[in-house]
Amino acid sequence: MATELTLLSRSCCHLCHDMEVALAPLAAEFGASVKVVDVDSDALLEAKYDELVPVLLHCNTELCHYFLDEPKTREYLAKIR
């Protein structure tokens, strides 16, 4: 079963777009899919993550926020493989 990462994002956020672009090759390398979720579409997500977006999650594990932490994300993906 493929790993699904969740990227909490918002449409007017350049950091969100940057993380999505930076994440694409890493996700492809590990065969992971990326589900982009607009944090503004869910009041609970907005309340929890409002000032932290973009946030990269796997299940309930926060991998990074603001910028892609490639080494940490790579290590995590290798471990759960």
**CA–CA gap between residue 68 and residue 21 (Å, rounded):** 10
Tens of pLDDT, residue by residue over 26-42, are 999 999 999 999 999 99
pLDDT of 1 strictly over 80: no
The type of residue at 59 is C
For the four alpha carbons of 2, 70, 74 and 57, in that order, the dihedral sign comes to negative
- Residue 46 is part of which domain span? 4-80
pLDDT of 2 strictly over 80: yes
Query: What CATH number is associated with residue 12?
Result: 3.40.30.10
Domain count, the chain: 1
Tens of pLDDT, residue by residue over 6-64, are 999 999 999 999 999 999 999 999 999 999 999 999 999 999 999 999 999 999 899 99
